[in-house]
Chains A and B, each alone.
Chain A
Amino acid sequence: QVQLVQSGAEVKKPGASVKVSCKASGYTFTDCWIHWVRQAPGQGLEWMGWINPNSSDTNYAQKFQGRVTMTRDTSISTAYMELNGLRTDDTAVYYCARVPSVITDYWGPGTLVTVSS
């Protein structure tokens, strides 16, 4: 069965960086794009960007360009999202999600990133 397993919760200070991992299993990792989506407390879903694990091509939402980097390691079927220059309003749950063809069909459990001085 398809599974996306994410790394554990993080607490960071403003200005720091965070790197969240998303390990895929149950399907061929390079067959589906991975989206990263975040959700601030009490808010809706916000798309951050996607990575094509096959080509490593990426596309980032304009809001995060210059601050986010998405990478992957096909040898261990894992995608990564690194966010730099953290601010308190980056406090959110960060989700990876599988996209086989345009639409998201599986979500990871989420990783809580708390930014606080």
Chain B
Amino acid sequence: QPVLTQPSSASASLGSSVKLTCTLSSGHSSYIIAWHQQQPGKAPRYLMRLEGSGTYNKGSGVPDRFSGSSSGAARHLTISNVQSDDEADYYCESWDQNPSFGGGTKLTVL
């Protein structure tokens, strides 16, 4: 079962870019992940599916400001032109017989 490691917090200034990282455990570096956004008091929302090759497919209605990339075992979510409503918790998810979630990164917009 892959273990997904995320920094607990990140911050970005309004209008800047920020790169969030999810790192897969040893032996799972090729795994596909998903990124989910959870705004305060709301249910999670699927953002994208991200492959080890860096190919990503976004969910319906996800703004162009959100993109994905991969480097080895790391899976990145980049948010460009950060907006105030990007302030949220971001979770990564992967699968090996059963799903597992990272601990989440709380993004603060300054």
Contact = CB atoms under 8 A, between A and B. Distances in A.
Partners in one complex: yes
Interface of A: 1, 35, 37, 44-47, 50, 59, 61, 95, 97, 99, 102-110
Interface residues on B, range: 20 to 34
> Is chain B's binding surface mostly helix, strand, loop or mixed?
strand
Nearest to B50: A103
Interface of B: 32-34, 36, 43-46, 49, 59-60, 91, 93, 95, 97-104
B59 to A, nearest CB: 6
A102 to B, nearest CB: 5
A102 B104 contact: no
Given A59-B97, A104-B93, 17 more contacts: A37-B101, A44-B91, A44-B103, A44-B104, A45-B93, A47-B99, A47-B101, A61-B98, A102-B32, A103-B32, A103-B33, A103-B49, A103-B93, A104-B36, A104-B99, A107-B36, A107-B44
> Is chain A's binding surface mostly helix, strand, loop or mixed?
strand
Nearest to B97: A59
A1 B59 CA distance: 12
A106 B62 CA distance: 13
Nearest to A93: B43
Contacts of A95: 43-44
Contacts of B34: 103-105
Contact of A110 (B43, B46, B97, B100): B43
13 contacts: A35-B99, A44-B101, A44-B103, A44-B104, A47-B101, A59-B97, A61-B98, A103-B33, A103-B93, A103-B95, A104-B93, A105-B49, A110-B43
Contacts of A97: 44
